[in-house]
A = this chain, B = another copy of it.
């Protein structure tokens, strides 16, 4: 009897990886839809369903689908709507996508747009089992302020967003340390608050008393001037000048900041991690806490004798290259550095990895004396 049950379970397991599972019809509008829009929708299994009106079109395709599937082809109905569902459950969290209508690339009129891939893309959210940590809750909220700071090196006023903690307005003599937090290639200074919910993550951590409140500054890393695939040609110096010589002095003269190297951290996701590594190593006197989120690693040789970081944080999605960050952190620890690695379970090179990474990083920042 036991053998039969085991066989049945085994067969079920094997079959379920080959055959499509039954789709549960509990689809709800994605939380990132435009006001009042019913599509796209997501079900409890993580399938996404799309519905696009284009009555005279011949073909509509959604870029989002299972890995390697090349997307989801929609089927035209008599009512002029194209509909379709992904071929399987998507990873939890945020995904960029776009739609192709008769060969032209557009956005889904139902979804909000997010800057990624050097364009404003449609976004969809597959509810994550741990979504509570970035949910909008009834807790005191910090502000996200758009600032325009003068930049002589680029001869313009540049934009940044500054998160200030909920109690920033209360005690007008209190000063805060600062995390400079970079987006990835194709994105810009809007990414960490729009896609990343960095402000809500901070609000929630602060409400739970889990972190020493700090300011976060997010600006454009000038990453998108270089084409994807030619990242090696990227020159860090122009952005390093903007960040270190222009933005930091502006922040420290316009916000109540604790100044000096011990009170400054730099972190970045993907290409923003690449930038973080280059700038922290070039300017060890400026930053004391370094974090690369799906953005490479530091070797012991990078740091030893050159910098004295108080923290090195390395993270990755489990579907990326988690062993690399774990190994690097172990090597750094063995060499005497305060290094931490974090692997986000069942996520790839996407924003849920980075939301979780920020949640893990924040409590570690500005703790050491």
Contacts and interface: CB of A to CB of B under 8 A. Distances in A.
A157 interface: yes
A35 interface: yes
B104 A57 contact: yes
Contacts of A143: 145-147, 162
A119 B34 contact: yes
A157 B136 contact: yes
A102 B57 contact: yes
Q: Among the interface residues A193, A199, A254, which one has the most CB atoms of the partner chain B within 10 A? A: A254
Chain A interface residue bracket vs B? 35 or more
Contacts of A172: 172
Nearest to A136: B157
Number of this chain's copies in the assembly equals: 2
A54 B61 CA distance: 13
Interface string A41-65: 0000000000011111111000000
B102 A102 contact: yes
Contacts of A112: 120
A141 interface: yes
A106 interface: yes
A107 B106 contact: yes
Interface in A86-145: 101-107, 109, 112-113, 118-120, 136-138, 141, 143-145
A146 B218 CA distance: 14
A14 B52 CA distance: 47
Interface in A177-200: 188, 193, 199
Nearest to A137: B157
A34 B169 contact: no
Interface in A16-38: 34-36
B103 A101 contact: no
A12 interface: no
A23 to B, nearest CB: 25
Given A55-B102, A102-B102, A157-B138, A119 B113 contact: no
A284 interface: no
A120 B149 CA distance: 28
A80 to B, nearest CB: 7
A211 B196 CA distance: 38
A58 B102 CA distance: 9
A318 interface: no
Interface string A196-233: 00010000000000000000000000001000000000
A103 B80 contact: yes
A255 interface: yes
A149 B103 CA distance: 44
A34 B104 contact: no
Contacts of A157: 136-138, 141
A71 interface: no
Interface string A69-80: 000000000001
Contacts of A113: 113, 120
Given A109-B119, A141-B149, A146-B193, 20 more contacts: A35-B118, A36-B224, A53-B103, A53-B104, A53-B105, A54-B102, A54-B103, A57-B57, A57-B102, A80-B103, A105-B109, A106-B107, A112-B120, A113-B120, A138-B157, A141-B147, A143-B145, A143-B147, A144-B145, A169-B254
